[in-house]
Structure 1
Amino acid sequence: MLYLVGIGLDSEKDITLKGLEAVRSSEKIYLEEYTSQLSVPVSQLEQLYGKEVVRADRETIQDRKGTIVEEARSGNISVLVIGDALSATTHVDLLQTAKERQVGCTVIHNASIMTAVSVCGLPLYNYGQTVSIPFFTEKWMPESFYDRIVANKQRGLHTLCLLDIKVKERDEDGGYRPSRFMSVSDAARQILFVAQKRKDGAIEDSTVGVGLARIGTQTEAIHPATLAQLAETDLGAPLHSLVIPGSVTVYEKEFYEKMFSFSQFT
């Protein structure tokens, strides 16, 4: 049996009882850690589970998915996913591979940023398409994320922006570059860069964003401000996300005034 186990957003204690039972019954445990990052050492997971946890990068999960699924044909194998078990396409791909090969697969869900974002006070049912913002390079500056943000705003919908993570990137010498995590300030600067290039008036320096950092942990931070202000704001350690609000209701404005003393929504 292959178990895809969401382990939540904070520490080893976020795993569900069902997930813990599955993990403790497993002969091998993989931790997928290239789509997100733990906020605690892997050793804390191992202490709770009573078993070794194998750290799995992109190459392990994507290139060896067939091997992982075949291991589950003859024994219990758990793949731990930070957040929810099906947080990214690669996790759904594991599920699909197991189904295609007729290997049993059980999905055990948990909280992820896709639901925990509601802590910022903007109800989930008013969100449009989620977007990913990648790091710009000198030769690659995609703008599709901007178009999706604008499309959501035009419909009055909020946008959750997932920010880029670069883990175990190969360098020119075949080694690994240092890990990089996009910050709210990075994301705000890139959005404004595209806005200034487009000059379409859809997003401006005064457009409001809500910076999110380490949501679901003891040190989570929620910071509403204009994009120009967020571009100069340091929200500390990763992981970060950014919300671009659409139409804001009277209730939501009151929430921000009371919770954050913020009243800059137009």
Structure 2
Amino acid sequence: MLYIIGLGLADERDISVKGLEIVRKADRVYLEAYTAILLVEKEQLEAYYGRQVILADRELVESQSDEILRDADTKDVAFLVVGDPFSATTHTDLALRCRQHEPPVPTRTLPNASILTAVGATGLSLYTFGQTVSMVFFTDSWKPSSFYDRIAENARLGFHTLVLLDIKVKEPDLQALARGKIVYEPPRFMTVAQCASQMLEIEEDRQQGVCGKEALAVGVARLGSADQEIVAGTLEDLAAADLGRPLHSLVLCGKKMHEMEWEFVRGFAKDLTKFDAIWKRDYGDKN
């Protein structure tokens, strides 16, 4: 059987008791290592689990999944996922491959906390979040702005938008690849400040008032860990904020933010007077 096991958000101790029992008995243990990362190294997982952990990069999961599924119809294979197993479509695809495999591979999924639920620590109601969007690193020649349209749809309904930030792990150096050499770039993790700056850059082009300088937002880092950070302010404020090491995410607040949400979020404000003034002017149910 293939067990797709959520690890939670922070470290080796966030795994469920059920998941830990399976990992310690499995024939092979893989750790998916490109859609998200834990805040500890693989060796720390191995020490706690008492098992060797095989890192599964994008190529292994998406192009060589038969290796992961090898003998999984007769043996137990654990596939570890940071957060919750089905927070990324990659893992849905892997489960579908199990169904299509010959012979079919039985699967079992063990859920865990993910950023999609942990973001409730900001005080913003999960009931009033709209579509989740992803923000990729801009380059000089590539600045995709499709995220803006989805945020605009959420904004029209007064919904908050969770923005998941890009990570680059084991990405090939394209210049080296053109010379026939496989060289990987150093890992990169987008920060709240980079995300806010890119949102403001696209706003300058679109000019629809969706991601303006005075739009209220909340930046989060390392949710679920002992050193988690939550900072609230305008996008302009967050573009200058330093929340420390990864992983980061950002929430753009919906205009119908309830008074109870405001009371909670303002406790994280960089500039309380400014935050309150903008909320009272532009937010809440004005109808």
Q: Which TM bucket (shorter chain)?
A: over 0.9
Is the contact between residue 232 and residue 266 of structure 2 (CA under 8 Å) also seen in structure 1?
no
Deviation at 1:24, TM superposition (A): 1.2
4+ long deviations beyond 6 Å: none
1:216 positional shift = 0.9
CA contact (8 A) 1:185 1:234 kept: yes
Other-structure match for 1:182 = 190
Deviation at residue 259 of structure 1 after TM alignment: 5.7
| 3-state SS of 2:172 partner | coil
Aligned length: 266
Number of the residue aligned with 2:92:
92
Superposed displacement of residue 232, structure 1 = 1.0
The match for 1:219 is 227
Aligned to 2:285: none
CA–CA distance in structure 2, aligned partners of residues 6 and 202 of structure 1: 34
SS at match of 1:204: coil
What is aligned with 2:179?
none
Q: Which residue of 2 aligns with 1:108?
A: 110
Q: What's the secondary structure of 1:79's corresponding residue? A: strand
- CA deviation profile, 1:170-202 (whole Å, cap 9, x unmatched): 012220011110100110011010100112223
Q: In structure 1, what is the equivalent of residue 172 of structure 2? A: 170
Q: C-alpha distance in 1, partners of 2:148/2:170?
A: 27
Q: Which amino acid aligns with 1:219?
A: D
Give the match's secondary structure for 2:70. Answer: helix
Cα deviation digits, residues 93-122 of structure 1 (max 9, x gap): 111111122111010110010110000001
Q: Could you list the per-position Cα deviations for residues 123-154 of structure 1 after superposition, in whole angstroms to 9, with x for gaps in the alignment?
A: 11100000000111122111010111111011
- Residues 52-107 of structure 1 deviation map (CA, whole Å, 9 limit, x = unaligned): 00111111111111221233123111110010112211111111111122111010
Please name the residue that 1:49 is paired with. Answer: 49
CA deviation string 1:216-251 (max 9, x = no partner)? 111110100100111111111010000001121111
In percent, how many aligned pairs have the same letter? 46
Question: Residues 259, 205 of structure 1: CA spacing in aligned structure 2 closer, same or farther, 3 A cutoff?
Answer: closer
Q: What is the CA-CA distance between 1:258 and the residue it aligns to? A: 4.6
Partner of 2:85: helix, strand, or coil? Answer: coil
Aligned partner of 1:40 in structure 2 is 40
What's the C-alpha RMSD, in Å, of the aligned pairs?
A: 1.2
SS of structure 2 residue aligned to 1:74: coil
Unaligned runs of 5+ in 2: 177-181, 283-287
Counterpart position of 1:141: 143
**Residue aligned with 2:31, SS:** strand
Find out whether 1:26 has 2:26 as its counterpart. yes
Q: Give the Cα separation in 2 of the matches to 1:69 and 1:105.
A: 10
Q: Does the aligned pair in 1 maintain the 2:122–2:264 contact within 8 Å?
A: no
CA contact (8 A) 2:231 2:268 kept: no
CA distance in 1, matches of 2:152, 2:13: 38
Q: Distance in 1 between matches of 2:210 and 2:17?
A: 46
